[in-house]
Amino acid sequence: TNQYAAGLALAIFGSGVSAFLGRGFGSAPIDALKRVHIPFLSDIPVVGPMFFRFDPMVYLAIGMFGLITWFLYRTKGGLILRTIGESPETSHAIGYPVIRIRYLAVLFGGLMAGLAGAYLSVAYTPLWVENITAGKGWISLALVVFATWRPLRVLIGAWLFGGMTILQLQGQALGIAVPSELLSALPYLATIIVLVIISQNRQLLTLHFPASLAKPFRAAS
């Protein structure tokens, strides 16, 4: 079936299920992850607070970036995965289980998205409320598009939107005379602006676009 429609349906379904299962956890305080204190490095002025005073999940995210990049571009498995993204028919013809590999890739992506969502509750804001993600997953999706599927650009873009989120919080803390709703919309507004700008260059968008993205595959009988 159409994978965009199926994905949207699953996203709506997931929001409803999380709201149902999380009824008993609403607004209950959670013990937050403790920040890591690295001797000497954490105490360096300016640099220490910027790089060496975060919780373990932050360093796990950076480590996963390096590991995934290495897997995609330095291993046979990564080459197979990228080949299936470009031409599943060719991969199937030479004997690779396309459907199984696609499922494994989706499961891994779901695992990473789940960790990102859990981070909001156990570190970013140590509590759970319904719709705590507030659409951040859609920003992640847009981030992959404007990064043209290149890992380093995704990392830089993630830092950019993270900075926009922090700017919003800092603006509210400093009492800037701007409606809080507008500050809260800042990361999403930045997403729209970036997507509009890059959509002007169709060649850039399609440069690394997986040719078979969101296209159902049916093995020939």
Q: Residue 159 pLDDT > 80, yes or no?
A: yes
- Structural domain including 178 reads 135-221
Task: Note the pLDDT tens digit of each residue in 67-79.
Answer: 999 999 999 999 9
Predicted local distance difference test score (pLDDT) of residue 38: 81
| Domain end call among 133, 159, 178 | 133
Predicted local distance difference test score (pLDDT) of residue 221: 58
Over residues 143-160, the mean pLDDT reads 87
Considering the domain architecture, whether residues 2 and 36 belong to the same structural domain is answered as yes
| Domain end call among 108, 133, 158 | 133
- Would you state the structure tokens that stand for residue 179, as one six-digit string? 């409606």
Residue 133 — very low, low, confident or very high, per pLDDT cuts 50/70/90?
Answer: confident
Predicted local distance difference test score (pLDDT) of residue 1: 76
Cα dist. 146→14, 128, 173, 190, 200 in Å?
25, 30, 30, 12, 11
Considering the domain architecture, whether residues 90 and 149 belong to the same structural domain is answered as no
Distance CA 156, CA 65 (A): 11
Considering the domain architecture, whether residues 128 and 177 belong to the same structural domain is answered as no
Considering the domain architecture, whether residues 120 and 165 belong to the same structural domain is answered as no
Task: Note the pLDDT tens digit of each residue in 6-46.
Answer: 888 988 998 899 889 888 877 777 888 888 888 887 888 87
Considering the domain architecture, whether residues 162 and 115 belong to the same structural domain is answered as no
Considering the domain architecture, whether residues 51 and 83 belong to the same structural domain is answered as yes
Considering the domain architecture, whether residues 84 and 163 belong to the same structural domain is answered as no
Over residues 139-160, the mean pLDDT reads 87
pTM, 2 dp:
0.83
Q: Residue 107 pLDDT > 90, yes or no?
A: yes
Contact partners, residue 100, CB within 8 Å, separation at least 6: none
Considering the domain architecture, whether residues 163 and 215 belong to the same structural domain is answered as yes
Question: Are 144 and 155 a contacting pair, CB within 8 Å?
Answer: no
Considering the domain architecture, whether residues 195 and 209 belong to the same structural domain is answered as yes
Question: Are 109 and 10 a contacting pair, CB within 8 Å?
Answer: no
Predicted local distance difference test score (pLDDT) of residue 166: 78
| Domain end call among 109, 133, 157 | 133
Count how many residues are written for the chain.
Answer: 221
Give burial (CB, 10 Å; 0-12/13-18/19+) of 81: buried
Considering the domain architecture, whether residues 4 and 104 belong to the same structural domain is answered as yes
Residues of the chain with pLDDT > 90, as a percent, come to 30
Considering the domain architecture, whether residues 87 and 139 belong to the same structural domain is answered as no
Contact partners, residue 219, CB within 8 Å, separation at least 6: 92, 98, 99
Residue 2 — very low, low, confident or very high, per pLDDT cuts 50/70/90?
Answer: confident
Considering the domain architecture, whether residues 55 and 108 belong to the same structural domain is answered as yes
Predicted local distance difference test score (pLDDT) of residue 200: 77
Predicted local distance difference test score (pLDDT) of residue 47: 78
Instruction: Single out the residue of 113, 143, 149 nearest to residue 14, CA to CA.
Output: 113
- In the chain, how many domains are there? 2
Task: Note the pLDDT tens digit of each residue in 52-63.
Answer: 888 899 999 999
